């Protein structure tokens, strides 16, 4: 392994560690369970981008390192090249767009204020259904295609290399779209269980890394499908018995909401136990 590759690997791991430290510091004690308020757009966007860097940098590292290897080789041969960070920023921009769409859906649901989403009414059924649907998505052809792409960076770089800044941006966006196609269901689970939960965030990040990087990652899809469907049924039937799931109408959730009251955010509307996703 060349010294440049060692340095780039250390940089990626350092960036991931730094964003995890920032995320833990900002999100500690803010898990109000399903329907956790997302706060104002500016605060949410800062948290979301930091979360995505923390969760995705470890699993996207093989692609970033391969891109950097190609660009460094082109630079050595005095051919046109583009800094690796342009590719990485384009990739993160796609996940930022995903987060903005999720925020828009959340705010739209808040504006409608549907009473059936309250946790003591249909909330557990909605969360359970979302998790079960994410599980079923693991079995779809689209999931398989996107996962194979994420696990095969060499094929993408060799077959889809594009020169220039525009080419690097396009490659970053394309890889980001495949990554969203692979992982959007897992992110739905995170939103459903409580997007401010460090426990569920770590769990989802581990699953993403396992699927994309570990040797048997592709085989996990069937296991996860069964596990998520079972978890969805469990939450719908008996949410209070699920370990790690903060109940939105519990004292712990009330304390989390109190901690978030100082944030620059719209005032909570309706019942504090509302489970609007």
The boundaries of the domain holding residue 177 are: 3-241
For residue 155, being part of any structural domain is answered with yes
- Contact (Cβ atoms closer than 8 angstroms) between residue 67 and residue 115: no
Helix (H, G, I), strand (E, B) or coil at 113: coil
Q: What is the mean pLDDT of each run of 10 residues along the chain (277 residues)?
A: 75 89 88 87 91 93 90 80 90 96 90 80 93 97 95 84 89 95 95 92 95 92 96 95 91 84 48 40
For residue 259, being part of any structural domain is answered with no
149 Cβ partners below 8 Å, 6+ apart? 155, 156, 175, 178, 182
For residue 265, being part of any structural domain is answered with no
For residue 269, being part of any structural domain is answered with no
pLDDT of 75 reads 77
The helix, strand and coil proportions of the chain, stated in percent and rounded to the nearest 5, come to 75, 0, 25
Tokens in use for 52? Answer: 């995505």
pLDDT of 93 reads 96
For residue 260, being part of any structural domain is answered with no
For residue 95, being part of any structural domain is answered with yes
Distance CA 68, CA 87 (A): 9
For residue 272, being part of any structural domain is answered with no
pTM over 0.85: yes
Distance CA 23, CA 209 (A): 18
Q: Please state the separation of Cα 221 from the chain's center in Å.
A: 17
> How many domains in the chain?
1
pLDDT of 159 reads 80
For residue 252, being part of any structural domain is answered with no
Distance CA 84, CA 171 (A): 11
């Amino acid at each position: 392994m060349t010294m440049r590759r060692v340095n780039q690997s250390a940089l990626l791991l350092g960036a991931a560690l730094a964003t995890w430290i920032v995320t833990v510091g900002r999100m500690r004690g803010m898990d109000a369970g399903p329907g956790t308020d997302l706060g104002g757009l500016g605060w949410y966007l800062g948290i979301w981008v930091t979360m995505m860097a923390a969760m995705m940098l470890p699993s996207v590292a093989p692609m970033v390192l391969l891109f950097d290897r190609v660009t460094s080789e082109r630079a050595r041969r005095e051919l046109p090249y583009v800094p690796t960070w342009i590719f990485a920023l384009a990739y993160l921009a796609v996940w930022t767009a995903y987060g903005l769409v999720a925020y828009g859906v959340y705010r739209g649901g808040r504006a409608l204020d549907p009473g059936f989403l309250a946790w003591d009414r249909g909330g557990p059924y909605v969360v359970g259904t979302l998790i079960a649907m994410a599980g079923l998505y693991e079995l779809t052809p689209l999931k398989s295609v996107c996962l194979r792409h994420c696990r095969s960076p060499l094929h993408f770089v060799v077959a889809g290399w594009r020169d220039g800044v525009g080419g690097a941006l396009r490659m970053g966006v394309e890889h980001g779209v495949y990554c969203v196609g692979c992982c959007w269901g897992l992110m739905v689970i995170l939103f459903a269980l409580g997007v401010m939960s460090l426990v569920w965030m770590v769990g989802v990040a581990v699953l993403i890394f396992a699927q994309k990087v570990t040797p048997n990652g592709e085989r996990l899809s069937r296991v996860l499908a069964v596990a998520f469907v079972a978890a969805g049924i469990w939450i719908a039937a008996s949410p209070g018995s699920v370990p790690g799931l903060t109940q939105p109408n519990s004292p712990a959730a009330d304390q989390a909401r109190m901690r978030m009251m100082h944030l620059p955010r719209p005032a909570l509307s309706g019942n504090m136990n509302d489970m609007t996703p």
